């Protein structure tokens, strides 16, 4: 049985039993942004600028994921593509179908990067001794210092970073 492609996915309605909705999720971005503190009140939240899709590597991966999904779901190399899915049905016909050989601009045009960014972020965070710049007597410690997200359990890596940061914090403040 082939799934017809005349359905529209609406988040407020249950998905039709004849539809399939693949998900694209960025799990290993290399783009990094700052965390800033704009208040002396510890109850105030920091301002986080995730800097989504800031590097060409992240944008390339984001373009390739929908292509590989399209290839797997509609291509002749998988049972799903040969016998189940007939074609992509973009929501309400507002978008053209995405194929495995779509031009780079098509997958990229479906991601609204400016909405993903927080615009108020200055680039200064902390110095190598973990002191937050612009704030007295405050250090920051987090595990986002890895260049890429670790695809396995991160306990050992976080413990190693925590140990190194503990050594840094135990040193007297250098002026």
**Cα–Cα distance measured from residue 74 to residue 71, given in angstroms and rounded to the nearest whole number:** 6
The pLDDT of residue 6 is 40
Name the residue among 58, 49, 51, 73 with its Cα closest to residue 25: 58
Residue 121 lies in a domain: no
Same-domain pairing of 8 and 33: yes
Same-domain pairing of 55 and 84: yes
**Tally of domains in the chain:** 2
Same-domain pairing of 100 and 157: no
Q: What is the pTM of this model?
A: 0.45
Residue range 144-167, pLDDT digits in tens? 555 555 556 667 777 888 888 888
Residue 35 lies in a domain: yes
Same-domain pairing of 135 and 105: no
Choose the final residue of a domain: 85, 116, 147: 116
The pLDDT of residue 56 is 83
The pLDDT of residue 117 is 38
Same-domain pairing of 66 and 109: yes
Which DSSP symbol is given to 82? I
Residue 61 lies in a domain: yes
Give me the domain span that covers residue 31.
Answer: 1-116
Asked if 33 and 50 count as a contact pair (C-beta separation under 8 A), the reply is yes
| Residue with the two structure tokens 């940061």 | 165
Same-domain pairing of 111 and 139: no
The pLDDT of residue 95 is 62
Residue 122 lies in a domain: no
Same-domain pairing of 53 and 86: yes
Residue 173 lies in a domain: yes
Same-domain pairing of 70 and 35: yes
Run means of pLDDT, 10 residues per run, the chain, 175 residues:
40 55 72 80 80 80 79 78 69 62 63 40 59 77 59 72 86 75
């Amino acid at each position: 049985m082939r799934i017809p492609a005349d359905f529209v996915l609406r988040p407020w309605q249950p998905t039709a039993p004849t539809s399939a909705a693949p998900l694209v999720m960025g799990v290993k971005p290399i783009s990094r942004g700052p965390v800033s503190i704009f208040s002396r009140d510890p109850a105030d939240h920091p301002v986080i600028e995730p800097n989504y899709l800031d590097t060409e590597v992240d944008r390339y991966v984001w373009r390739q994921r929908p292509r590989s999904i399209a290839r797997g779901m509609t291509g002749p190399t998988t049972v799903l593509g040969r016998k189940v899915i007939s074609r992509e049905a973009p929501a309400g016909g507002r978008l053209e179908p995405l194929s495995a050989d779509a031009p780079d601009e098509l997958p990229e045009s479906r991601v609204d990067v400016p909405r993903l960014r927080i615009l108020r972020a200055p680039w200064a965070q902390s110095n190598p001794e973990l002191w937050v710049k612009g704030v007295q007597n405050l250090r920051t410690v987090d595990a986002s210092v890895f260049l890429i997200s670790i695809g396995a359990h991160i306990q050992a890596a976080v413990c190693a970073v925590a140990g190194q940061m503990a050594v840094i914090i135990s040193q007297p403040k250098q002026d």
